[in-house]
Amino acid sequence: MGGTFDPVHHGHLVAASEVQARFELDEVIFVPTGVPWQKGGREVSAAEDRYLMTVVATASNPRFSVSRADIDREGVTYTVDTLRDLGTRYPDADLFFITGADALEQILSWHRADELFTLAHFVGVTRPGYDLAATHLPSGSVSLVEVPALAISSTDCRARVAAGQPVWYLVPDGVVQYISKRRLYAAED
Ligand code: ATP
Ligand code: MG
């Protein structure tokens, strides 16, 4: 499961857990992006902070882990490179790529989209505010999975922190504490 994870929240974790159970996956690997090319215009938090928050959030689940593949690769993150790197690292694995309905809508605009479908099976999960059914994708290449609807986004979590509002129960407790310790997302003073 790729993402900016700025910060990781319970929407990500529920989606990962549901897809893990549905497909009986051995492991869900969270892969924080390096330089996310589609997030132009906004400062993204340091890769190391996003990586550590993801580690904190996933530490208690034996089937969850975090990969540094994208943050350690030079340059802009493309999912095709992520999947190639994971394929090299786990040559015998069947790879699944978990993505929310919003990201799935953009999937065909992704770098080398045609190749993506040969590298992994794509799983699109429902997300409040986005219509999964309306997405037109090559048949057979993507599974659509309904997950419990959590109307949580990282954008909203950042805005809440900047406004002094709580993010308790939107993100794991350890992530609340990490945000506070590192003073992430605070309004400039
Ligand atoms: P931002 O608001 O900064 O874009 P985000 O909440 O969308 O953050 P991302 O890191 O961009 O989080 O998302 C990583 C992946 O998780 C994407 O595939 C996205 O569609 C999916 N995702 C994020 N939030 C949810 C949610 N609440 N329910 C289902 N899928 C989600
Ligand atoms: Mg997003």
Tell me the pLDDT of the chain (189 aa) as tens digits: 999 999 999 999 999 999 999 999 999 999 999 976 666 677 899 999 999 999 999 999 999 999 999 999 998 888 999 999 999 999 999 999 999 988 887 776 777 777 888 999 999 999 999 987 766 776 677 899 999 999 999 999 999 999 999 999 999 999 999 999 999 999 765
Query: Does residue 187 form part of some domain?
Result: no
Q: How many structural domains does the chain have? A: 1
188 inside domain: no
Residue 189 lies in a domain: no
What's the rounded Cα separation, in Å, for the pair 22 and 18?
A: 6
Residue of minimum CA distance from atom 27 in ligand 1: 11
82 lies in a domain?
yes
What is the span of the domain harbouring residue 35?
A: 2-181
| CATH number of the domain where residue 108 is located | 3.40.50.620
Residues 6 or more apart whose Cβ sits within 8 Å of residue 171: 7, 8, 9, 10, 57, 157, 179
- In eight-state DSSP terms, residue 143 is E
Alpha-carbon 53 to chain mean position:
12
Distance in angstroms (rounded) separating the CA atoms of residues 59 and 136:
36
Choose one of 8, 12, 104 to mutate for the ligand 1 pocket test, by most ligand atoms within 8 angstroms of C-beta. Answer: 12
- For the chain, strand residue ranges (E) read 2-3, 28-32, 35-36, 64-66, 76-77, 96-100, 121-125, 142-145
Ligand 1 proximal residues by C-beta, below 6 Å: 3-6, 11-12, 15, 99-100, 102-103, 125, 127, 150, 152-155
Has residue 64 been placed in a domain? yes
